[in-house]
A and B are shown apart, each in its own frame.
Chain A
Amino acid sequence: MSEASAVTPELEALLNVDLGPDVYEIEKGMLRRFAEAIDDPNPRWLQQAPPTFPAALVPTGLLHRLFNAPCPLTRLLNGASELEYFHPIEAGDTIAVTGRLTRLRQVAGKEGPSLFMFTEVTYTNQKGEVAVKGKNTYIRY
Protein backbone atom coordinates (compact mmCIF):
# COMPACT_ATOMS: atom_id res chain seq x y z
CA MET A 1 0.00 0.00 0.00
CA SER A 2 2.76 2.40 0.93
CA GLU A 3 4.10 2.30 -2.61
CA ALA A 4 0.84 3.45 -4.18
CA SER A 5 0.94 6.96 -5.57
CA ALA A 6 -0.78 9.61 -3.48
CA VAL A 7 -0.67 11.94 -6.47
CA THR A 8 -4.19 11.49 -7.79
CA PRO A 9 -5.31 12.92 -11.16
CA GLU A 10 -7.40 15.52 -9.29
CA LEU A 11 -4.29 16.78 -7.47
CA GLU A 12 -2.13 16.64 -10.58
CA ALA A 13 -4.73 18.69 -12.48
CA LEU A 14 -4.18 21.57 -10.01
CA LEU A 15 -0.47 21.93 -10.79
CA ASN A 16 0.51 25.40 -12.05
CA VAL A 17 -3.07 26.62 -12.39
CA ASP A 18 -3.71 30.11 -10.98
CA LEU A 19 -6.85 30.03 -8.86
CA GLY A 20 -8.74 33.05 -7.60
CA PRO A 21 -8.79 35.85 -6.95
CA ASP A 22 -10.40 35.90 -3.54
CA VAL A 23 -10.94 39.57 -2.75
CA TYR A 24 -10.72 40.86 0.83
CA GLU A 25 -11.57 44.34 2.08
CA ILE A 26 -9.24 44.99 4.99
CA GLU A 27 -11.24 46.41 7.88
CA LYS A 28 -9.86 47.70 11.16
CA GLY A 29 -11.92 45.11 13.03
CA MET A 30 -10.24 42.27 11.11
CA LEU A 31 -6.82 43.62 12.02
CA ARG A 32 -7.74 44.12 15.68
CA ARG A 33 -9.23 40.61 15.95
CA PHE A 34 -6.17 39.06 14.32
CA ALA A 35 -3.74 40.99 16.56
CA GLU A 36 -5.74 39.91 19.63
CA ALA A 37 -5.76 36.30 18.43
CA ILE A 38 -1.97 36.23 18.07
CA ASP A 39 -1.63 38.08 21.41
CA ASP A 40 0.48 40.91 19.96
CA PRO A 41 -0.34 44.19 21.73
CA ASN A 42 1.64 46.48 19.40
CA PRO A 43 -0.70 49.47 18.71
CA ARG A 44 0.65 49.59 15.15
CA TRP A 45 -1.54 46.57 14.30
CA LEU A 46 -4.72 48.64 14.76
CA GLN A 47 -3.98 50.26 11.39
CA GLN A 48 -1.43 48.01 9.69
CA ALA A 49 -1.44 44.25 9.20
CA PRO A 50 0.92 42.27 11.45
CA PRO A 51 3.45 40.05 9.63
CA THR A 52 1.44 36.82 9.58
CA PHE A 53 -1.92 38.47 8.75
CA PRO A 54 -1.80 37.14 5.15
CA ALA A 55 -2.61 33.76 6.74
CA ALA A 56 -6.13 35.14 7.24
CA LEU A 57 -6.46 36.09 3.56
CA VAL A 58 -7.14 32.56 2.47
CA PRO A 59 -6.82 31.59 -1.20
CA THR A 60 -10.02 29.55 -0.91
CA GLY A 61 -10.11 28.73 -4.62
CA LEU A 62 -6.85 26.85 -4.21
CA LEU A 63 -7.14 25.44 -0.71
CA HIS A 64 -10.67 24.02 -1.04
CA ARG A 65 -9.60 22.08 -4.11
CA LEU A 66 -6.27 21.07 -2.60
CA PHE A 67 -7.70 19.84 0.71
CA ASN A 68 -10.81 18.19 -0.76
CA ALA A 69 -9.15 16.47 -3.72
CA PRO A 70 -9.42 12.70 -3.36
CA CYS A 71 -6.16 11.29 -2.00
CA PRO A 72 -5.36 8.09 -0.09
CA LEU A 73 -3.49 10.19 2.51
CA THR A 74 -6.24 11.85 4.52
CA ARG A 75 -4.39 13.59 7.35
CA LEU A 76 -2.96 17.05 6.87
CA LEU A 77 -0.33 19.23 8.52
CA ASN A 78 1.17 22.61 7.71
CA GLY A 79 4.85 22.08 6.94
CA ALA A 80 6.36 25.51 6.30
CA SER A 81 5.45 29.11 5.53
CA GLU A 82 7.33 31.98 3.94
CA LEU A 83 6.24 35.58 3.39
CA GLU A 84 8.00 38.31 1.48
CA TYR A 85 6.82 41.89 2.04
CA PHE A 86 6.80 44.60 -0.64
CA HIS A 87 4.09 47.04 0.53
CA PRO A 88 2.36 47.17 3.92
CA ILE A 89 -1.24 45.95 4.05
CA GLU A 90 -3.35 48.60 5.80
CA ALA A 91 -6.92 49.13 6.92
CA GLY A 92 -8.93 50.33 3.91
CA ASP A 93 -6.95 48.28 1.40
CA THR A 94 -8.57 45.78 -0.92
CA ILE A 95 -6.40 42.71 -1.39
CA ALA A 96 -6.85 40.21 -4.21
CA VAL A 97 -5.43 36.80 -3.41
CA THR A 98 -4.47 34.22 -6.01
CA GLY A 99 -2.88 30.87 -5.33
CA ARG A 100 -1.37 27.98 -7.21
CA LEU A 101 0.03 24.54 -6.53
CA THR A 102 3.60 24.50 -7.83
CA ARG A 103 4.92 21.06 -6.94
CA LEU A 104 3.93 17.67 -5.52
CA ARG A 105 6.50 15.40 -3.96
CA GLN A 106 5.82 12.03 -2.41
CA VAL A 107 8.33 10.68 0.10
CA ALA A 108 8.46 7.27 1.79
CA GLY A 109 8.81 7.50 5.55
CA LYS A 110 9.15 5.10 8.48
CA GLU A 111 5.48 5.53 9.30
CA GLY A 112 4.25 5.45 5.71
CA PRO A 113 4.27 7.83 2.78
CA SER A 114 3.84 11.59 2.94
CA LEU A 115 2.90 13.95 0.17
CA PHE A 116 4.41 17.44 0.20
CA MET A 117 2.24 20.00 -1.59
CA PHE A 118 4.06 23.27 -2.41
CA THR A 119 1.95 26.38 -2.99
CA GLU A 120 2.55 30.02 -3.89
CA VAL A 121 0.15 32.84 -3.09
CA THR A 122 0.20 36.44 -4.34
CA TYR A 123 -1.49 39.28 -2.43
CA THR A 124 -2.15 42.29 -4.67
CA ASN A 125 -3.51 45.62 -3.41
CA GLN A 126 -6.07 47.96 -5.02
CA LYS A 127 -3.27 49.89 -6.77
CA GLY A 128 -2.20 46.73 -8.56
CA GLU A 129 0.98 46.45 -6.48
CA VAL A 130 2.07 43.07 -5.18
CA ALA A 131 1.97 43.69 -1.42
CA VAL A 132 3.10 40.25 -0.26
CA LYS A 133 4.22 36.99 -1.82
CA GLY A 134 3.76 33.81 0.15
CA LYS A 135 4.83 30.20 -0.08
CA ASN A 136 3.35 27.42 1.95
CA THR A 137 4.08 23.70 2.15
CA TYR A 138 1.27 21.38 3.24
CA ILE A 139 1.90 17.76 4.15
CA ARG A 140 -0.61 14.93 3.68
CA TYR A 141 0.21 11.76 5.56
Chain B
Amino acid sequence: MNGAKDSMKQVYYEDIEAGSELPGLVKYPTTMQLVKYAGASGDYYQIHYDKDFAIESGLPGVIVHGWLALSFLGQLVTDWLGEGGALLKLSGSYRGINRVHEDIICNGKVVKKYVEDGKNLARLELWAENPAGERTVTGTAVVSLPSRG
Protein backbone atom coordinates (compact mmCIF):
# COMPACT_ATOMS: atom_id res chain seq x y z
CA MET B 1 0.00 0.00 0.00
CA ASN B 2 2.88 2.37 0.69
CA GLY B 3 4.19 1.88 -2.83
CA ALA B 4 1.23 3.79 -4.22
CA LYS B 5 1.82 6.58 -1.71
CA ASP B 6 5.45 6.93 -2.69
CA SER B 7 4.86 6.85 -6.42
CA MET B 8 1.88 9.22 -6.53
CA LYS B 9 1.99 12.91 -5.87
CA GLN B 10 -0.11 13.71 -2.80
CA VAL B 11 -2.49 16.66 -3.10
CA TYR B 12 -2.61 18.90 0.00
CA TYR B 13 -5.24 21.33 1.24
CA GLU B 14 -2.88 24.23 0.57
CA ASP B 15 -2.56 23.20 -3.10
CA ILE B 16 -6.21 23.69 -4.02
CA GLU B 17 -8.65 26.55 -4.35
CA ALA B 18 -12.18 27.01 -5.70
CA GLY B 19 -11.99 26.22 -9.40
CA SER B 20 -9.07 23.78 -9.16
CA GLU B 21 -9.67 20.96 -11.63
CA LEU B 22 -9.15 17.26 -11.00
CA PRO B 23 -7.24 15.29 -13.64
CA GLY B 24 -9.84 13.89 -16.05
CA LEU B 25 -10.59 10.20 -16.53
CA VAL B 26 -12.00 8.55 -19.65
CA LYS B 27 -13.69 5.14 -19.55
CA TYR B 28 -14.98 2.95 -22.36
CA PRO B 29 -17.48 0.42 -20.98
CA THR B 30 -18.22 -2.67 -23.05
CA THR B 31 -21.17 -5.06 -22.79
CA MET B 32 -18.76 -7.50 -21.13
CA GLN B 33 -17.97 -4.93 -18.44
CA LEU B 34 -21.69 -4.44 -17.81
CA VAL B 35 -22.09 -8.21 -17.41
CA LYS B 36 -19.16 -8.23 -14.96
CA TYR B 37 -20.71 -5.32 -13.07
CA ALA B 38 -24.09 -7.09 -12.99
CA GLY B 39 -22.41 -10.14 -11.47
CA ALA B 40 -20.32 -8.19 -8.97
CA SER B 41 -23.19 -5.97 -7.82
CA GLY B 42 -26.13 -8.35 -8.13
CA ASP B 43 -27.97 -5.85 -10.38
CA TYR B 44 -29.28 -8.14 -13.11
CA TYR B 45 -31.81 -5.71 -14.60
CA GLN B 46 -31.84 -6.75 -18.27
CA ILE B 47 -31.59 -3.21 -19.73
CA HIS B 48 -27.86 -3.48 -18.95
CA TYR B 49 -27.04 -6.57 -21.07
CA ASP B 50 -30.10 -7.72 -23.09
CA LYS B 51 -30.39 -5.48 -26.15
CA ASP B 52 -33.87 -6.76 -27.15
CA PHE B 53 -35.18 -6.14 -23.65
CA ALA B 54 -33.60 -2.67 -23.56
CA ILE B 55 -35.14 -1.68 -26.89
CA GLU B 56 -38.57 -3.00 -25.82
CA SER B 57 -38.18 -0.79 -22.73
CA GLY B 58 -37.88 2.24 -24.99
CA LEU B 59 -34.11 2.61 -24.70
CA PRO B 60 -31.74 2.97 -27.67
CA GLY B 61 -29.91 -0.19 -26.64
CA VAL B 62 -28.04 -1.60 -23.67
CA ILE B 63 -27.23 1.21 -21.22
CA VAL B 64 -24.54 1.61 -18.57
CA HIS B 65 -25.60 1.12 -14.93
CA GLY B 66 -25.87 4.49 -13.17
CA TRP B 67 -23.87 3.02 -10.31
CA LEU B 68 -21.08 2.03 -12.72
CA ALA B 69 -20.85 5.56 -14.11
CA LEU B 70 -20.81 6.86 -10.53
CA SER B 71 -18.01 4.36 -9.78
CA PHE B 72 -15.94 6.05 -12.50
CA LEU B 73 -16.51 9.41 -10.79
CA GLY B 74 -15.51 7.75 -7.51
CA GLN B 75 -12.24 6.63 -9.08
CA LEU B 76 -11.65 10.14 -10.42
CA VAL B 77 -11.86 11.41 -6.84
CA THR B 78 -9.93 8.65 -5.04
CA ASP B 79 -7.11 8.72 -7.63
CA TRP B 80 -6.77 12.44 -6.96
CA LEU B 81 -7.03 12.09 -3.15
CA GLY B 82 -4.24 9.54 -2.96
CA GLU B 83 -3.49 7.75 0.31
CA GLY B 84 -3.55 10.94 2.40
CA GLY B 85 -7.07 12.16 1.63
CA ALA B 86 -10.45 10.68 2.42
CA LEU B 87 -13.78 10.61 0.62
CA LEU B 88 -16.57 11.54 3.03
CA LYS B 89 -19.55 11.84 0.71
CA LEU B 90 -20.29 10.96 -2.91
CA SER B 91 -23.49 11.54 -4.86
CA GLY B 92 -24.68 11.40 -8.43
CA SER B 93 -27.86 12.13 -10.38
CA TYR B 94 -28.39 10.05 -13.49
CA ARG B 95 -29.62 12.60 -16.01
CA GLY B 96 -28.89 10.93 -19.30
CA ILE B 97 -27.96 7.68 -20.91
CA ASN B 98 -24.47 6.30 -21.33
CA ARG B 99 -24.39 3.64 -24.03
CA VAL B 100 -21.85 0.86 -24.28
CA HIS B 101 -18.87 1.20 -26.63
CA GLU B 102 -18.79 4.95 -26.12
CA ASP B 103 -16.42 7.08 -24.08
CA ILE B 104 -17.57 8.28 -20.66
CA ILE B 105 -15.58 11.42 -19.95
CA CYS B 106 -15.27 12.11 -16.20
CA ASN B 107 -14.39 15.51 -14.79
CA GLY B 108 -14.39 17.33 -11.50
CA LYS B 109 -13.46 20.59 -9.88
CA VAL B 110 -13.25 22.13 -6.43
CA VAL B 111 -16.28 24.26 -5.57
CA LYS B 112 -15.02 25.45 -2.19
CA LYS B 113 -12.54 24.62 0.56
CA TYR B 114 -13.26 25.08 4.24
CA VAL B 115 -12.21 24.00 7.71
CA GLU B 116 -14.81 22.29 9.89
CA ASP B 117 -14.23 20.54 13.22
CA GLY B 118 -10.50 20.92 12.65
CA LYS B 119 -10.67 19.07 9.32
CA ASN B 120 -9.52 20.45 5.99
CA LEU B 121 -12.46 19.83 3.69
CA ALA B 122 -13.37 20.50 0.10
CA ARG B 123 -16.61 20.23 -1.81
CA LEU B 124 -16.26 18.99 -5.37
CA GLU B 125 -18.52 19.16 -8.38
CA LEU B 126 -18.33 16.06 -10.58
CA TRP B 127 -19.76 15.22 -13.97
CA ALA B 128 -19.65 12.55 -16.64
CA GLU B 129 -20.23 13.32 -20.30
CA ASN B 130 -21.04 11.19 -23.31
CA PRO B 131 -19.29 11.85 -26.65
CA ALA B 132 -22.12 14.24 -27.64
CA GLY B 133 -21.07 16.44 -24.72
CA GLU B 134 -24.22 15.77 -22.71
CA ARG B 135 -23.79 15.57 -18.95
CA THR B 136 -25.20 12.13 -18.19
CA VAL B 137 -24.23 12.12 -14.51
CA THR B 138 -23.82 15.17 -12.31
CA GLY B 139 -22.56 14.70 -8.81
CA THR B 140 -20.85 16.11 -5.77
CA ALA B 141 -18.28 14.89 -3.30
CA VAL B 142 -17.02 16.05 0.07
CA VAL B 143 -13.41 15.15 0.83
CA SER B 144 -10.84 15.77 3.54
CA LEU B 145 -7.27 16.56 2.57
CA PRO B 146 -4.02 16.46 4.49
CA SER B 147 -2.29 19.73 5.39
CA ARG B 148 1.35 20.64 4.76
CA GLY B 149 1.31 22.45 8.11
Contact = CB atoms under 8 A, between A and B. Distances in A.
Interface size class, chain A: 20 to 34
Interface string B47-81: 00000000001100000011110111011011100
By secondary structure, the A interface counts as mixed
A81 B43 CA distance: 15
Interface size class, chain B: 35 or more
Contacts of B72: 38-39
B89 A38 contact: no
A50 B41 contact: no
Contact of A82 (B4, B39, B75, B90): B90
B114 interface: no
A43 interface: yes
A119 to B, nearest CB: 14
Given A37-B37, A75-B57, A79-B94, A52 B67 contact: yes
A25 B3 CA distance: 28
Interface of A: 30, 33-34, 36-40, 42-44, 47, 50-52, 55-56, 58, 75-85
Given A39-B33, A42-B79, A51-B90, A81 B42 contact: no
A43 B93 CA distance: 28
Interface of B: 1, 3-4, 27, 29, 33, 36-37, 39-43, 45, 57-58, 65-68, 70-72, 74-75, 77-79, 83, 86-94
Nearest to B4: A43
Contacts of B78: 40, 42, 44, 50-51
A56 B42 contact: yes
A94 B141 CA distance: 26
